[in-house]
Chains A and B, each alone.
Chain A
Amino acid sequence: MKRGTKKRIKEKNEDRFSCLPDYVLLHILSFFDIKEAIQTCILSTRWKNLWKILPTLTLISSQFATFEAFTKFISKILSLRDASASLDVLDFQCEGRMDPRELKRILTYAISHSVKRLRIDVNFDIQQFLPSLFSCHTLTSLHLSIYESPRPITLFPNSLNLPAVTTLALNGFLFCVGDDGRVDPFSKFDKLDTLMIYGACEVRDNKLNLCISSTTLVNLTIRTNYSAAGGIRFQLYTPNLCTFVYHGHIPFQKLCGINSNLSSIKHVLLDMTIGVGMWSNPKDNPLLLLHLLDELANVESLTISHRTLKVLSLVPYLLEIEFTSLYNLKSLKVDGKFITEGMLYFLLQNAPSAKVILY
């Protein structure tokens, strides 16, 4: 093998780069498009097999001309990849129709290679894959997004425990009632600290609330359809919740569960709407926003979107309403174009020294 002759004096930084351990180079490589990452095998003998131990794989079908090309590509990667290298992160996004057996293949590979963070975005029912996913004990983060039209079909199991999972994001799932007559799918997770629920989720019996019971939950994001006044009704039993982000229609009922409260929540982002005019429901009432703010009394930092300000602007005689909440507020972030003096006064009346940030 040809050995380089005496090295020319190169720039100091290039020397330093070549002295870096593999994991640093792999880290940069993990941000490359997978096809580009494979190209680096041509750089030098050191790089020839580096891509094969990349611990992250992002496979996106829309980057390929046909599904056939996509599945062939996946086949090649799985066969060429270093079999002893664990796969920490798999991000799999597939638009359009795909043979579910392909998904099974890649999932089996990921699970057998100790995958820690898994994201799946598909548009077919993945019910058959859930058992193997849910028995994978290396998973710490799971992001499942299923676009099924017109309504979700995939059932999210009750009484599930994924012992190592700390982050869970769900889109397009159907939640159903458990043995205790409640819809309470997350209560058995031992370590869940971050939960995100997205728009295409539903409760099968939509007369029931979706209870979110978790003593470990710290971050909750709910991102539902703004117009879905008849959407999921959430009930929180989350005594250690710290950060709460809510995009969607203002809830018609209290967010906190019975004998529960939201006093632990410190940081909130509200991006809320109510139905107006033709689209309003008899229960639509801008005062509901104030009821929600009453529930969030202990909040220290509050971000309010322009949509939420719009709701606030619909409250008649705002400044005459008794408001005792937000007394711990240290920072308020609002859209500078839509906020009025009156609204600012109202929101800050119990915490006049709070910092105001306009964006």
Chain B
Amino acid sequence: MAQEASSSTSSKTISLKTGDGEIFEIEASAAKQMKTVQRLIDDLGDDITIPLHNVFSKELPKIIEYYKKDITGEITKDFEAEFVKDLNDDEVKVLFLAANYLDANKLFEFLSQNIADRLESKSVEYVRKYFGVENDFTPEEESKLREERAWSFRGIKEDE
């Protein structure tokens, strides 16, 4: 197994600074997968530490871990299952928001699916809280709506 000689451009690393001031390194090829980061690199150059105001030191390492696997083509269903296994719903939410901010498409897709899976069997109240949604229906509006969409529960109700 020949040793890699001197550094090539593909092993260049980029410095990222989180909103709470911590610095992390990622490979340039991983940074390419996060369009927001890539845009900042294009504007500011790749020798500068890239500031990420909306991403914090709690979640960035996990995102870096995901894209480390991605650039070696090793993302499998098993890896993705492991990746989210020990995360609670809020931690997934934080990662999702970060992936959205970073415009990191692959992670965004995967986490969208994971959030949908987690929310499917949850109550209306839980889902409202999760999305930060206030119930702004009047009681009358709400009960009318429940009646109207009863067809989607049973799927066989006759009344229009």
| Residues of chain A having any CB pair with chain B under 8 Å | 1-4, 7, 10-11, 13-18, 20, 24-25, 27-33, 35-36, 38-48, 64-66, 68-70, 72-73, 76, 353
| Min CB gap B114→A, angstroms | 9
> Does residue B117 face the partner (Cβ distance < 8 Å to A)?
yes
In the complex, A73→B116 CA distance in Å?
22
The answer to whether residues A42 and B155 also contact, given A13-B132, A31-B117, A353-B1 and a CB cut-off of 8 A, is no
- Looking at the complex, which one of A1, A11, A64 makes contact with B138 (CB distance below 8 Å)? A1
- Looking at the complex, which one of B2, B138, B142, B149 makes contact with A353 (CB distance below 8 Å)? B2
Could you list some 13 contacts between A and B, CB below 8 A? A13-B97, A27-B112, A28-B116, A30-B112, A31-B112, A31-B113, A38-B152, A42-B124, A42-B149, A44-B135, A48-B145, A72-B155, A76-B152
Across the interface, do A44 and B137 meet the contact criterion of CB distance under 8 Å?
yes
- Looking at the complex, which one of A36, A42, A65, A66 makes contact with B142 (CB distance below 8 Å)? A42
| Chain A residues, Cβ within 8 Å of B153 | 35
> Does residue B48 face the partner (Cβ distance < 8 Å to A)?
no
Across the interface, do B152 and A73 meet the contact criterion of CB distance under 8 Å?
yes
Across the interface, do B124 and A35 meet the contact criterion of CB distance under 8 Å?
no
- Looking at the complex, which one of B93, B117, B134, B138 makes contact with A4 (CB distance below 8 Å)? B134
Q: A17-B132, A40-B127, A45-B136 are in contact. List 7 more A-B contacts (CB 8 A).
A: A13-B94, A28-B115, A31-B113, A32-B120, A43-B127, A73-B155, A353-B1
> Does residue B49 face the partner (Cβ distance < 8 Å to A)?
no
> Does residue B90 face the partner (Cβ distance < 8 Å to A)?
yes
> Does residue B77 face the partner (Cβ distance < 8 Å to A)?
no
B114-142 CB contact bits vs A (8 Å, 1 = yes)?
A: 01110110001001111111111110001
Across the interface, do A3 and B1 meet the contact criterion of CB distance under 8 Å?
no
- Looking at the complex, which one of A24, A39, A66 makes contact with B124 (CB distance below 8 Å)? A39
| Min CB gap B101→A, angstroms | 9
Across the interface, do B112 and A18 meet the contact criterion of CB distance under 8 Å?
no
Across the interface, do B100 and A66 meet the contact criterion of CB distance under 8 Å?
no
